[in-house]
A and B are shown apart, each in its own frame.
Chain A
């Protein structure tokens, strides 16, 4: 009997094939455990935590701040406390209970204004506010984005479909130490009278990194092309 025979015909489709990559992932993990590099329990604990992560809490934080000026001030003054209100405990929810080099506990909310637009990059590796925004997208990790965003931000943003007028200051935040940045964009037109839930839906991951602006008619990020690095290592 094949794998799919056990499933009801209405169930979501699944991949009924064991790929070399799937096998490789398990084999690497098992060898690490066999060599004593970590335990199965440590691994399970991380996996469980990772399954809880995603961009929704950061989107909700922004939506709440749009509706409540006091909360917006809290986001600026004490982002750790503000995150608790959207269910994210930067310090205690991680398996390590104090942060890791990937997830130090020092979030900072960068508030856009009509004349100031923030965008986030990590030129050194790919530091990202993972506890509140989930896994980083592939393009964020590429050397192409990391090298070019600090140098030609307007060009890179226009590749993302975002053209900004001359009188708007673009401020690139390079996340090179222990602060993890989240961008709070301006609330778009056409959202008057919306609820927190409605607003949360349009604050997508790309808006929170700063490469897109929220729009009343968009609830998902556009698909991004992946560019190879122009000048690979060693050149």
Chain B
């Protein structure tokens, strides 16, 4: 990866950094609620998102995504466990590639949170 792009990738994204710091990871939730499933329910849908991004228009090729995930996992998100880290890295790559903005993601998260809290 050219140095300029690598530096850009390494710039932190406050929204994602906060989620990495404050978000409750699956292993903690499992302990609290006595759940034994090793994977959070969203892991499969996350994997599917990664797959479909590599298909058709191929917005994010698989090797590029994995390469960026490796870099981000060793730096910005190194203290976040897997698969939470994979999710943060994907969101990070998508923002850095300009598919959506950090603010847009924040707004969308608010909407999703309201819906999930009300809908169940």
Contact = CB atoms under 8 A, between A and B. Distances in A.
A and B touch in the complex (CB under 8 A): yes
Interface in A1-55: 3, 12-32, 35, 37-38, 42-43, 46-47, 50-51
Interface in A100-138: 100-102, 124-126, 135, 138
A21 B87 contact: yes
Given A20-B24, A24-B87, A31-B104, A47 B116 contact: no
A24 B91 contact: yes
B42 A22 contact: yes
A42 B100 contact: no
A219 interface: no
A99 to B, nearest CB: 11
Interface of A: 3, 12-32, 35, 37-38, 42-43, 46-47, 50-51, 96, 100-102, 124-126, 135, 138, 141, 143, 226, 228-229, 232-233
Nearest to A229: B74
What range describes how many residues of B lie at the interface? 35 or more
What is the predominant secondary structure among interface residues of chain B facing chain A? helix
Q: Which 3 A-B pairs have the closest CB atoms?
A: A20-B23, A46-B48, A38-B52
B45 interface: yes
A228 B78 CA distance: 9
B54 A100 contact: yes
Interface of B: 19, 22-26, 29-30, 32-35, 40-49, 51-57, 59, 61-63, 66-67, 70-71, 74-75, 78, 82-84, 87-88, 90-91, 94, 99-100, 104-105, 108-109, 111-113, 116-117, 120
A18 B52 contact: no
